[in-house]
A and B are shown apart, each in its own frame.
Chain A
Amino acid sequence: MKSKERVGIKGYGAYIPFQRLPSTEVARVWKGGGSGPNLEKAVASIDEDTVTMAIEASQYAMKMAGIEELGAIFVGTESKPYAVKPTSTIVAQALGQHYTLAADLEFACKAATEAVQVLTGLVGSGMIQNGLAIGVDTAQGRPGDELEYTAASGSAAFVISKFDKDAIASIDCSASYVSDTGDFWRRAQERYPRHLSRFTGEPAYFYHVEKSVRNLFQETGLKPSDFTYAVFHQPNPRFPVEVAARLGFTAGQIKTGLLNPLIGNTYAASSPIGLAAVLDEAKPGNKILLASFGSGAGSDAFSFTVQDAIEKSRGVSPTVKSMIAKGTKIDYSTYTKFRGKLTK
């Protein structure tokens, strides 16, 4: 999919909460020792949720973009604090934006990339000048479930604008693939999601991600070696490495954007935070491949080209690396208190 008019990213920001739960803590409580697949995961504080983290990342993105008005705000999340009452209007209010389209999108872990695609259409068609796409989640794992090692919190936001000299990256093309595949779900009144364990792999993650990326290659004529960086959705440290290899990417290409070992799976923010980490260090001319995955299931693949203006964006917002470095370890009991699993 390509827009008629060129569209770009003008600003971005990520937010990773301060607390880290080492996977050894989950293992200590539930398995009696050992460790999980990742080292640590980022845990939102007791007073943080998708609203607050969306706003934090958005403020950075808006500051970098240096724009005044947004024509659309989309919050991609599966952990809205309200079942009915939009998250996007609270974000809009906090950003001082009122004459704007605002909506929450849900598609498990890929709600943010579809927000980028929708905005590409709105901006590319000239309907709006600038839009904000946010991926954010406070992912929940049932205590003791294997998801609990990785289900993490974080956000990333991107200002999508008409392409001009201030664009830090152009959005060159995207391709999607969806099918009805119930690998992971949460029913309306349930607190924790359920999943079908190994079924989340081959028929879900790998099948859809490979489809969308190959589709993108076909549409653009690009091949893995054309990209300096590649970022994949990262439900655990293993899947993105495996899918990258299958698609012909090297370990070096995915290294910068592979954050699961350090922060876990931030769901709708997972591949977007990876993209933010890549943008933090990418050089003008670099091409970036991004592929999300959402259970249920689908994948959106993108090709971006980094532009000269990226050099001016340095230092405006804290880098993903600096936010990861700032984290502090908590134990399992603090984690249960913070995430509402222990109430007074």
Chain B
Amino acid sequence: MAIQFWRIRDRYYRLMGNRCDDCGARNLADKDMPRTGKILTHTQLHEPLPGFESEVPLNLAVIELQNGARVLAQIVDTPQEKIETGAKARAVIRRVRVDGDSGQILYGYKFVVE
């Protein structure tokens, strides 16, 4: 499990990515993405995937970054009423997945509403 995420750790740690604006293909060199954007839509999930039980309920949002790129991420450290469409959000780094008590800890981007 850890290996398939290890290979793209820069994307998780540094919010990097690539996508062709014309055709959507993703075989270009990764670039740093802007670390701020706005919430396009959001949801509060009550039954997340296995491994996220202790974080229930999970606030998830689609964030449109300043360059138009989109990212799906958790919203953390934000009062519920501030999680709304159009709200400004900023990327932070957090633990995203923890493989039990003995496995590896996977880090990556999440967002906070400013």
Contact = CB atoms under 8 A, between A and B. Distances in A.
A and B co-occur in one complex: yes
A182 interface: no
Contacts of B70: none
A59 B54 CA distance: 28
Interface stretch (B18-26, B39-47, B60-68, B92-100): B92-100
Given A96-B14, A344-B53, A45 B77 contact: yes
Interface residues of A, number: 22
B54 A46 contact: yes
B13 A47 contact: no
A47 B79 contact: no
Interface stretch (A20-28, A49-57, A108-116): A49-57
A48 interface: yes
Q: Which of B13, B79, B96, B110 is most buried by chain A, counting CB atoms within 10 A of its CB?
A: B13
Nearest to B35: A59
B54 A56 contact: no
B81 interface: no
A55 B92 CA distance: 9
Contact of B93 (A56, A81, A82, A343): A56
Report the contact-size class of chain B (Cβ under 8 Å from the partner).
Answer: 20 to 34
B54 A55 contact: no
B13 A94 contact: yes
Contact of B13 (A17, A19, A48, A93): A93
Interface in B55-114: 55-56, 74, 76-77, 79, 92-96, 105, 107, 110, 112
Contacts of A17: 77
A20 B89 CA distance: 22
Contact of A18 (B14, B77, B95, B107): B77
20 contacts: A45-B94, A46-B55, A47-B74, A47-B94, A49-B105, A51-B95, A51-B105, A52-B92, A55-B13, A55-B93, A56-B92, A56-B93, A81-B105, A90-B13, A93-B9, A93-B10, A94-B13, A328-B79, A343-B54, A344-B56
For the complex of A and B, list the 10 residue pairs with the smallest distance between their C-beta atoms, beginning with the closest: A94-B13, A47-B94, A18-B77, A47-B95, A344-B53, A344-B54, A55-B93, A52-B93, A52-B94, A81-B105
Given A90-B107, A96-B10, 5 more contacts: A18-B112, A51-B105, A55-B93, A96-B14, A344-B54
